Amino acid sequence: MNYIRTGLLLAGLTALFGVVGMMIGGQQGMIIALLFAGAMNVFAYWNSDAMLLRMRSAQQVDDRTAPELVSIVRELSQNAGLPMPKVYVVENPQPNAFATGRNPENAAVAATTGLLKLLDRNEIAGVMAHELAHVKNRDTLTMTITATIAGAISALANFAMFAGIFGGHRSDNNNPLGGLGMILVAILAPLGAMLVQMAISRTREYEADKIGAEICRHPMWLASALNKLDKGVHTIPNQDAERNPATAHMYIANPLSGKGMDSLFATHPDMGNRIARLREMSGQMSGQMSGQMSGQMSEPTHDGAQGRAQSNASQSDRAQAERSGPWQAKPRASQQEPRRRRKRPWG
């Protein structure tokens, strides 16, 4: 259902772009507007990821510079059945993260230094799983196209405002509404584009939370991370995002200093609603596991002692998996060598 809704919203946004062009220059204006939108989308398809990373001064990291973070992303990518994306770190005190790229083969995930300092390993895994869910769903491409069309509509609206004020008295133009109509278009079109863009963003965030929880296999890891991020983004401003709010919808948490309400004007769903859905999902997964364990216990065994030993071993394995997570097959280095200084996820 979310995919259908996203498709309808994108179609509506494209139609709005064409209508704005028609109102400015008639049928010829509509054709020019659609051709312009197509050219912008082609450019965004090939260059949007590099542009966003440059805007945020992101630095690519690897196994040498950020071994733990890269290891988390690698193992989660394997869980999701995705190619290994490029991993970046953004020097910014606000805890946040985003994903970009036109497809899974050319994807990148990025985390701020503020996030890496604030969250523990499990919570970082939850956040990275959320970003990989965006990559898997190709949301990065969807949101790039959305932002491009919305920006083009705003540019056309500015032109309409200028034409309405200085050229509205001319009778030989192709505008069917006149100068006053173009001024109304200049006011209402960007508002409509913004509402559609925000609706698409909210829809994709809920879906990424769900699939991200499935990738890391622990919904409460992401829920705990979102709770900390919600407090962090309201406490620490993101000056880069404030200067260029057009990319705010790319982040896991709204980086702007707004209220974050789950309303028409919110780029992200309400954080409380997101956490509540993840808690509900965690309860459902726990119930399914309990049912499976009950079924296994009800089966008769020929050797009671052997059955108890296998049960104890199974519980021990599950406890170890809970501590280490699905990406780690052996104890952490800090457990093997207690005297070594613990490294942070970025190196």
Residue 197 φ/ψ, nearest 5 degrees: -60, -45
Burial class (CB in 10 A: 0-12, 13-18, 19+), 127: buried
**In the chain, where are the structural domains located?**
2-272
Task: Indicate the helix (H) or strand (E) that contains 109.
Answer: strand 108-112
Paired tokens of 319: 């406890």
Task: Indicate the helix (H) or strand (E) that contains 90.
Answer: strand 86-90
pLDDT at 141: 77
pLDDT at 131: 96
Angstrom distances, CA of residue 138 to CA of 34, 103, 115, 132: 23, 6, 24, 10
Each residue's pLDDT expressed in tens, for the chain with a length of 347 residues:
445 655 666 676 677 777 777 776 677 777 877 777 777 767 777 877 788 888 888 999 999 999 999 999 999 999 999 999 999 999 999 999 999 988 899 999 999 999 999 999 999 999 999 999 999 998 887 777 776 676 667 666 766 666 555 555 444 455 555 566 667 766 777 676 667 666 667 778 999 999 999 999 999 999 999 999 999 999 999 988 888 777 788 899 989 865 444 445 566 888 999 999 999 999 988 877 666 666 655 555 445 545 455 555 555 554 454 444 444 444 444 444 444 545 555 55
For 280, other C-beta atoms within 10 Å of its C-beta total 11
Q: What is the DSSP letter of 174?
A: -
Nearest CA to 159 out of 16, 44, 33 is that of 33
Q: Give every CB contact of residue 235 below 8 A, 6+ residues apart in sequence.
A: none
Whole-number Å distance between alpha carbons of 32 and 125: 46
Q: Which residue is it, tokens 């008295």?
A: 169
pLDDT at 290: 65
Q: Which residue is it, tokens 């613990």?
A: 342
Decide: 79 and 215 in contact? Cβ < 8 Å. Answer: yes
pLDDT at 130: 97
pLDDT at 328: 45
User: For strand 86-90 and strand 97-100, is the pairing parallel, antiparallel, or unpaired?
Assistant: unpaired
| Residues noted as catalytic | 131
Whole-number Å distance between alpha carbons of 246 and 243: 9
User: For strand 108-112 and strand 59-61, is the pairing parallel, antiparallel, or unpaired?
Assistant: unpaired
